[in-house]
Structure 1
Amino acid sequence: MASAQNPHGGQEQTILGIYTAMYHWGAIIVSPGYTDPSLFTAGGNPYGTSVTVQNGKMVEDVQAAVKHQAKRTVDVAKWIAAGSN
């Protein structure tokens, strides 16, 4: 998840920068992609949920997108664990 003070403030690039470091560690990236309608309500970022913050408050309603992203991550981890036996 990333945030910025203004729309188009680099949220996607911030997430991609984090992913670059994770690639060096051999991490498996589980981005949300466009797998749930809630992602479009939250700004449509396929790399991970991001928000715009103004006056200390999030502008977008991202709760459903965050829940979807977390569930997707857990589901993929379960698939990997099941396949490793």
Structure 2
Amino acid sequence: MDTKILVLFYGYGSIVELAKEIAKGAEEEGAETRIRKVRETLYPDLIEKFHVPLDSTKDIQEVNLEDLKWADGLAIGSPTRYGNMAGGMKTFLDTTAPLWRSGDLYGKPVTFFTEASTIHGGHETTILTMTTYAFHFGMIIVPLGYAIPEISSTNTGGSPYGSSHLSSKKDLDENEIKIARFQGKRIAQVARKLKGS
């Protein structure tokens, strides 16, 4: 049986690049992947004021609840907003009550990723804010720990909590890519074991 991994994100720029690297890692492990985005919830005047690059994700489909049901494992990512997940991600997660009632996500593994513009900008707290949903759904949280040396040697992005990016740098660096790929492989491995294939 094929292992199916959903990589779900809100945002633009480096969070999208992290999502793609996580998906590549899962695919290297033999998983089938879907990358999906969360709908933009900013007011139109703020989209214009902040120059939100909506076109940069136009080729990525918006997520729906069927995508979550389809997946054997999930990777969920959001940029930090004052140490918390972005409102767009929270708005989407708040719509998943039907899956909570049906138990469709119970026992599925999930891992988290983020980006922030400063080293102490809330990478770890943002991941922690997303994990509360996993507790309520009875999901299995899959952290990275210190299984690869890049987590101990990076001063930009990535921790035992999950992959991340220091977005004051434009591009993902080598360590960030390795950590994201490892995260994709790890969620695919855990999902496969739990699925029993």
How high is the TM-score relative to the length of structure 2? 0.38
Instruction: Give the counterpart of 2:132 among 2, 16, 20.
Output: 20
Unaligned ranges ≥5, structure 2? 1-112
1:72/1:14 Cα in 2 relative to 1: closer, same or farther (>3 Å)? same
**What does 1:58-69 correspond to in 2, within 5 Å?**
58=171, 60-61=173-174, 62-69=176-183
Where does structure 1 differ by over 4 angstroms across 4 or more consecutive aligned residues?
none
* Higher strand proportion (structure 1 or 2): 2
In the TM superposition, what is the alpha-carbon distance from 1:81 to its structure 2 partner?
1.1
Q: Aligned residue pairs: how many?
A: 82
Moved more, 35-44 or 21-30: 35-44
Residue pairs, 1:2-81, within 5 angstroms = 2-43=114-155, 45-54=159-168, 57-58=170-171, 60-61=173-174, 62-81=176-195
Matches of 2:120 and 2:171, distance apart in 1 = 14
Identity %: 34
Whichever residue aligns with residue 138 of structure 2, its letter is G
Counterpart contact for 1:42–1:49, Cα < 8 Å: no
RMSD over aligned Cα atoms: 2.0
